[in-house]
Structure 1
Amino acid sequence: MKIKELEFKEIASKRIYESYMKRISKVVKPLPVQDQNEVLLEFNSHIYEGLQRQTNKAEVEGLLDILDKLGVPEEILKPLVADKKMEQATKTFNPLHVIKALALNITNGISYIIFFILYLLLLGFVYLIFAKIVNPDTMGLFFEDEAFMVLGKTNKLNDPGVTEVLGNWFIPVMIVSIIVCYFIITFLLKLKRIINKK
C-alpha cells in the first residue's frame, strides 16, 4: 500500500516532510511491509491533522513544530520496532527473525541477554555435530562406570570403564536436541512477551 504524500505550498516544507518520512522508513525497515506501512500511515496522519489545526503559523514553522512534538524517529520508534520484531519472531519461530528481534531488544533488560545466551548455547550442539563428523571416535556422549562423564570430546577412550553410549545415533540425537531446545526457548520468549504485555 502506497502512503499518500501530503501536499505543501512551500518547497522547504515538502523537503522537510520527505526527509522526516524517509527517516521513519529507514527505522522501520526491519519490520514486515504491512507494519512499515502502518507506522508510516500513523505518522502521516499525525502530521496531516497537526497541519489542519495550525492556521495562524507559516507552513514551515507549523510543520517543524509538529515534527518536534512527534520526536526524533530513531529514538521514538526504536521500542516499537523492537516490540514488533519480537512479535514477528515469536509468531513465526523463524531463527533469523529471532536473532534480529533479540539484537533489537538486547538493551531492554537482562532477560533478553539471557535468551540471547541460550540461543548461543544451541550453537554448541551444532559444533558437537561437526566435531563428531571430523573426529567420530573421540566425540560423543561418554559414560564412565555407568555414570555420566562428558558430552563432547574425551581422551580417555582407552580406559576400561569409558563407553560412548549413542554411537551412530549421536548426530540425530543432537539435531533433535537443537530443534526441541530451540522451540522451548522460543516458546519461553513468547511467554515472556505475553507476560510483559499484561
Structure 2
Amino acid sequence: MIPEFSDPAAQGLWNDYVAQVDRMVALIGPEAAELSEDLRAHLADSFASDTSGSEVDRIQRAIERLGQPSEFLRPMLADELLERGARTYDPALISRGLYHTIRSGSRRAFSAIAFAAGYILLANFAAMTLFKPFFSDHVGLIRGPNGSLTFGIVGDGAGEELLGLWSIPLTLALCALLYVLLTRALRRYGT
C-alpha cells in the first residue's frame, strides 16, 4: 500500500526510504521479506494519520517516527550474518556480522570487538605461516639480545630464531585451533 503522492519530492523521500529498507532486508535474507512489507505499511499508516502540513513535511515526520532503517535493522542483520557465519565457518560472513554488530552500537559491540581481536590474532598467525619461508630469521620464536622472547614477526637484528621451520606447523595448528574455538564460541554467543 503506497500512498498517492502529488508532490514528487514526497514520492522521492518515500522511494529513498523504501530502497534503504529493501537493501537492508535483502542482506538479512529471505526470512525477513515480510518485514519490508510491514515497514511499508507502518510508514504509509503514519503518513496517512498525519494531516497537517505539506506531503513532504508529513512523510518526513512519518520517517522520523519510524526511524532510519540502519538503526533498527542493523542488529537483525548482524545477528543473521553471525549465525550463518558460525554455522558455516565462513570468515566473510563472520567479519561482516562483527562489523555490523560493532556499527549497531549495541551492548554486544564490546563482545564483537573481542571476537574481532581474536580473529585478528588468527590473521597474525596466518601471516607468520606465510612469511616464514621467505623471512625465516624474522618470523617465529625470537630470543632478543637481552634474552627476551618474542613470538611473531620482528625487524632486523632482533635476535636469534629458536624454532626454525617448526614454527610453520605450530602457527598452522594455532590458526586452526583458534578459528574453530572462536567460531564455536561465536555460535554459542549468538544463540
What is the match of residue 66 of structure 2? Answer: 70
Q: Residues 124 and 51 of structure 1: is their aligned pair in 2 closer, same or farther, counting only changes over 3 Å? A: closer
Instruction: Note the residue ranges of structure 1 that are not aligned, 5 or more in a row.
Output: 144-148, 158-162
CA–CA distance in structure 2, aligned partners of residues 169 and 116 of structure 1: 27
CA–CA distance in structure 2, aligned partners of residues 52 and 11 of structure 1: 14
What is the match of residue 14 of structure 2? Answer: 17
Q: TM-score, normalised by structure 1?
A: 0.66
CA–CA distance in structure 2, aligned partners of residues 9 and 126 of structure 1: 56
More divergent stretch after superposition (59-68 vs 108-117): 59-68
Deviations 1:4-57 (A, max 9, x none): x7252534453332121123234x178255256344223123335x27974x94
Q: Residues 125 and 90 of structure 1: is their aligned pair in 2 closer, same or farther, counting only changes over 3 Å? A: same
Q: 1:187 aligns with which of 184, 188, 191?
A: 184
After superposition, residues 89-168 of structure 1 pair within 5 angstroms as 89-106=85-102, 107-108=105-106, 109-136=109-136, 139-140=139-140, 151-152=151-152, 155-156=159-160, 164=163
CA contact (8 A) 1:25 1:36 kept: no
CA RMSD in angstroms comes to: 3.6
Which one has a bigger Cα radius of gyration? 1
- What amino acid maps onto 1:171 in structure 2? I
CA–CA distance in structure 1, aligned partners of residues 79 and 12 of structure 2: 30
CA–CA distance in structure 1, aligned partners of residues 96 and 59 of structure 2: 34
- What amino acid maps onto 2:79 in structure 1? D
Aligned residues: 175
Structure 1 residue 64 displacement after superposition = 4.9
If each structure's helix is expressed as a fraction of its own residues, which one has the higher value? 2
Structure 1 residue 133 displacement after superposition = 0.8
Q: Residues 121 and 30 of structure 1: is their aligned pair in 2 closer, same or farther, counting only changes over 3 Å? A: farther
Q: Residues 30 and 114 of structure 1: is their aligned pair in 2 closer, same or farther, counting only changes over 3 Å? A: farther
Q: TM-score, normalised by structure 2?
A: 0.68
Structure 1 residue 176 displacement after superposition = 3.5
Q: Residues 47 and 169 of structure 1: is their aligned pair in 2 closer, same or farther, counting only changes over 3 Å? A: same
Q: How many percent identity over aligned positions?
A: 21
Structure 1 residue 63 displacement after superposition = 4.8
Instruction: Note the residue ranges of structure 2 that are not aligned, 5 or more in a row.
Output: 144-148
